[in-house]
Amino acid sequence: MSKFIDLSVKGALGDESKWFEYIGGIKAAHAGFVDYDGAKVELRKVLVSAIEKRIPEHHFGIFFSGGVDSSFIAQVCKNKNANFTCYTVGFSDKNMAIPPDIIYSRKVAKDLDLNYVEKIYNESEAEKIIEEVVKILPKPKEFGIDFFVKVGVGAVILAAKKLADDSVFFSGLGSEEIFAGYQRHSEANDVDDECWNGLKMMWQRDILRDVSIANAADIDFRLPFLDEDVIKSAMKISSDHKINDKFKKIVLREIAELEGLSHEFAWRKKQGAQYGSKFDKAIARIAKKKGFKLKKDYLRNLVD
């Protein structure tokens, strides 16, 4: 098991079978949905507690994107007078627009008066990060979209870590699953089942990636959205209060506003880390520059 991934999540993050057992145990104890107003009060309480109990005594970082997940974590940490810095990265080169995550992170940091550090990586800098991430990640069986996403998200994490001396970082990992934040939740016949299935599949899709990067980069991830009490509380709330035709993660956005986050930031619609940072564009541009027709061919070349 990794030494650097939220040890408070019952050791489940270091082994796939233990992760299945962890999520399966929570699901088995699930007794159905409860009254929304009361459930939201409970969820707010356990979310704040999950963040608060993970705050170290020393300075720490937050992987920051200006989205509701990281902004909520920052708001709670600010309310607790914690000693932290928010780190945001993006890619832009040769007349490209500033990445949206940089734009919004600046706004949120100013609004909340946060300690904030950013870096916009150029093509040559991004290439080094991407190559490093590919070497860190386990070799994939297939070089499809899943590996492309892992490299893109991993590049954002590693690029942000390089800005900091901190080893402890808060991450919003897990929020998309418990609050129905993905497009597949919009398309699912049963959103609640899709949340459970998504939680179960996180180990291969997300956790193995982050464990690998954590070990390589000496990162101690703090993952409040994967706290057992948070998952239990979130899954008591029907999907009707998580997702509709206009918004995803509705209950989290409402709680974020109650905790003090401005409406503009609580209800910001954003893309995944690799898109909001534009590291996906970096991979595409570098692949083309090196003569590869497809991004997967470029990444396969880095592995081989």
Split at pLDDT 50, 70, 90, the class of 141 is confident
Give me the percent of the chain exceeding a pLDDT of 90.
89
Q: Is residue 2 part of a domain?
A: no
Does residue 6 lie in a domain region?
A: no
Rounded to 5 degrees, φ, ψ at 294 are -120, 150
Q: Which residue would you say has higher pLDDT here, 14 or 267?
A: 267
Assigned domain for 4 exists: no
Reply yes or no on whether the pLDDT at 270 is more than 90.
Answer: no
Reply yes or no on whether the pLDDT at 2 is more than 80: no
Q: Give the pLDDT confidence score for residue 28 in this predicted structure.
A: 95
Question: Is 1 domain-assigned?
Answer: no
Looking at the domain assignment, is residue 7 inside a domain? Answer: no
For residue 125, give its domain range. Answer: 12-303
3-class DSSP string for the chain: CCCCECCCCCCHHHCHHHHHHHHHHHHHCCCCCCCHHHHHHHHHHHHHHHHHCCCCCCCEEEECCCCHHHHHHHHHHHHCCCCEEEEEEEECCCCCCCCHHHHHHHHHHHHHCCCEEEEEECHHHHHHHHHHHHHHCCCCCCCCHHHHHHHHHHHHHHHHHCCCCCCEEECCCCHHHHCCCCHHHHHCCCHHHHHHHHHHHHHHHHHHHHHHHHHHHCCEEECHHHCHHHHHHHCCCCHHHCECCCCECHHHHHHHHHCCCCHHHHCCCCCCHHHHCCHHHHHHHHHHHCCCCCHHHHHHHHHC
Strands 220-222 and 116-121: unpaired
- Residue 244 inside a domain? The answer is yes
Predicted pLDDT at 281: 95
Question: Per the domain annotation, does 220 fall within a domain?
Answer: yes
pLDDT for position 108:
98
What's the average model confidence in pLDDT over 48-64? 97
Q: 89-107, pLDDT tens digit by residue? A: 999 988 889 999 999 999 9
Specify the number of domains making up the chain.
Answer: 1
pLDDT at 52 over 60: yes
Asked whether residue 293 is domain-assigned, the answer is yes
The pTM assigned to this predicted structure is: 0.96
The predicted model gives 243-259 an average pLDDT of 97
CA distance 45 to 163: 32
Q: What are phi and psi of 83, to 5 degrees?
A: -100, 100
Residue 1 pLDDT > 60, yes or no? Answer: no
Tally the C-alpha atoms within 13 A of residue 237's C-alpha that lie toward its C-beta: 25
* Domain of residue 223, CATH code: 3.40.50.620
pLDDT tens per residue across span 113-122: 999 999 999 9
- Summarised one tens digit per residue, pLDDT across range 159-181 is 999 999 999 999 999 999 999 99
pLDDT at 187: 95
pLDDT score of 120? 97
